[in-house]
Amino acid sequence: MEETTLLDIAPDNPSGWAVIAKTIIGFVMGAIISAMIFIIMTLLGKDLFLGGVSIIVPIILALVAFVGTFIGNSAIGWAYNLFYSYKYYDFGKMFSFILIANSVLLLLITPIYFIMGAWGDAPFLVLAFHILFSIFVTQTLIEGFANPNYSGSALIGTLIAFAISVIIYLLVYQITYTNPDKLLFLVTTPAVVGYTLLPLFHSMWEKIYYKFYEVGNNFLYIPTQSEVTVKEDDMEANTQEEDDITVEM
């Protein structure tokens, strides 16, 4: 009976209140990070970013995105560990994942800032992508670490949420394209959109997938090595019993 219980690991099914709470936490964090980015950009001066090609602008944008998302992602991980410690139980490992993932993203995306630096709004679109992708990667790592057996489901859920976040951001960009103050929207929208929608739509996906699980369709479950070994041992034991019965007959 004990082995059967270990093998039957159910996917997460967050309550409605948990979905709302995570969304609110994400919105508050997104608003804080957006405000921080806005203050930094204001102190540096809008003319610095709109005054033509400058080698320092891509570096500033990359560092702003890195610092903002690192603080935001770490705070989200801490909040999850504080309020949902039964699932997000090891903040130390989450923090390590967040630090490594965001550092790697900084190294990979920084050259893109320089490549797109002379193309009008392109550097700010790269900034938005950097922020949204960082939130997506972090959310995927946090959810995958919390329940490794359903890391595939976590990836699908965060991919859906990431795609929706990108679409909504592009709609905001399109709406504000002719606005003289569009720089404000370009740099402040991605954090609010990402931190709000990623946990919202990922949690909704978890509830949808749990419905599949309830009807016996657990197609995204990934067994651990120990579970596979237990199943193989059971099959070998059953085969041995059948052979013994055949010999006795």
pLDDT digits (tens, 9 = 90+) for 173-220: 888 777 766 777 788 899 999 999 999 999 999 999 999 998 888 888
Record the tokens describing residue 196, joined without a space.
């709000």
Question: In the predicted model, is pLDDT for residue 67 greater than 60?
Answer: yes
Furthest CA-CA distance within the chain: 92
Question: Are the CB atoms for 72 and 30 separated by under 8 Å?
Answer: yes
Please state, in angstroms and as integers, the Cα–Cα distance from residue 172 to each residue in 30, 127, 134, 175, following that order: 16, 15, 20, 5
The pLDDT mean for the chain works out to: 83
Is 98 in contact with 136 (CB distance < 8 Å)? no
Q: How much of the chain, in percent, has pLDDT values that exceed 70? A: 80
* Cα(139)–Cα(145) distance, integer angstroms: 10
Is it the case that residue 2 has pLDDT exceeding 50? no
Whether the full predicted model's pTM is greater than 0.85, yes or no, is no
Q: Is the pLDDT of residue 224 over 80?
A: no
Q: How far is CA 57 from CA 117, 123, 149, in A?
A: 8, 9, 43
Range scoring the smallest mean pLDDT among 16-25, 27-36, 40-49, 61-70: 40-49
| Predicted pLDDT at 83 | 92
pLDDT in tens, 157-182: 999 999 999 999 999 888 877 776 67
Q: Is 9 helix (H, G, I), strand (E, B) or coil?
A: coil
pLDDT band of 76, cuts 50, 70, 90:
very high
pLDDT the model gives residue 147: 86
* Confidence category of residue 52, pLDDT binned at 50, 70, 90: low
